[in-house]
Amino acid sequence: MLKAKYFGWEFKSALTAAIHKIASDLGLSRVKVLFKADIPTAAIDRQGNVYITNIADDAVLTRGDLERFTGFALHELLHWKYTNFNAINRDAVEYLIHLHNGLEDAFIENRAVERKLTGNVESLLGTLIDNMATEGLNEVSDWSDPKQDPFVLAVYARKHGTIKVPLANGLKPIFDEACKRLNTCQHTADTWVLAEWVFEQLCKIQPPQPPVNPEPPVNPEPPTGSDDGNPCDDGDPSDQEGGNKNAPTKGEKPPTSPAKEGDEVGDAKTPVKRTKAHPNGGKVRVVVAPRSTEPTVNLPETARAGGATGEWCMGANEYHVSESKKWTVNC
């Protein structure tokens, strides 16, 4: 039975049980859960060891926190079920890797929701991406900055999210085509090829050019005056029959939706800052550093704990793509 509030030691026990239940639903075995201080949120390695940020035993957390962390764990378990890390070129530029991570995350989550792999899967993953989108809306001030594009795509490509983030002018055709192609992907190798395609499209973006011979502005006709020579005041059109009843009144801004392309955002820009010569005689693109596409959770420092607790320990810290051997030391 779910509780409204949990102490940290209860929370870790409940989350561990939920992770094992989800792993069973996904057809995964050998899952082990470890809470470690050096994990920002959640991670998984290739052996199926799930890592969660360590939580103090006396911390007080809520049912909502449990659902959020369960969503993080589900996301990581889906990586173990579907993601082939050998298909990812770790030598590629960071921007391309983040584009791929956003597409791969959407691929595994969309598939889990479509196949109803575990109970409440759409709600858990929907909450996960909606929290991620909300954090972005609170933190980002310039959505036309190309470093935001991998994050925007990660949100845009998930079918179960309800909160959208702004799109810079020119991104929608690229992202719509990416989502269309994502629906046909079957493996991580497919999502990697798709990420490369998206990256090339973004690199081709050119800034809008002013017209070569701009036409001089046309002076508008002066307003028609009334019989006494004063300009006519037609009044507020919303007061007239057939007028727009939802039109903003004087002094108000018109309503906007952050999901509409270009609304107070500006034009999309290429992520390429410059090119430089390569020793082999070619050219290398220097690309902006991207915003992370990984889901995160914010816990107060008082709720965190040092060290490690859980079912067992590992000997290496290469999470998410680890080749670590198994250890059987109790923590």
DSSP string, 254-310: PP--TTSBTTTT-B---SEEEEEE-TTSSEEEEEPPPPP-S------GGGB-SSEEE
Q: Among 117, 125, 122, 108, which Cα is nearest to 27's?
A: 117
Residue ranges in the chain modelled with pLDDT below 70: 1, 208-264, 312-331
Q: What is the dihedral of CA 297, 300, 301, 306, to 10 degrees?
A: -50
pLDDT at 79: 95
Helix axes 188-203, 94-115, angle to 10 degrees: 130
pTM of the model: 0.77
> Going by DSSP bridges, is the β-strand pair 272-277/60-62 parallel, antiparallel, or unpaired?
unpaired
Positive/negative CA dihedral, 93, 97, 98, 103: positive
Q: What is the DSSP letter of 87?
A: G
Residues 6+ apart with CB under 8 A from 248: 254, 255
Per-residue pLDDT, 274: 87
Amino acid 71: pLDDT: 95
Which contiguous run of DSSP H or E holds residue 7?
A: strand 5-7
Burial of 225 (0-12, 13-18, 19+ CB in 10 A): exposed
Strands 283-287 and 42-44: unpaired
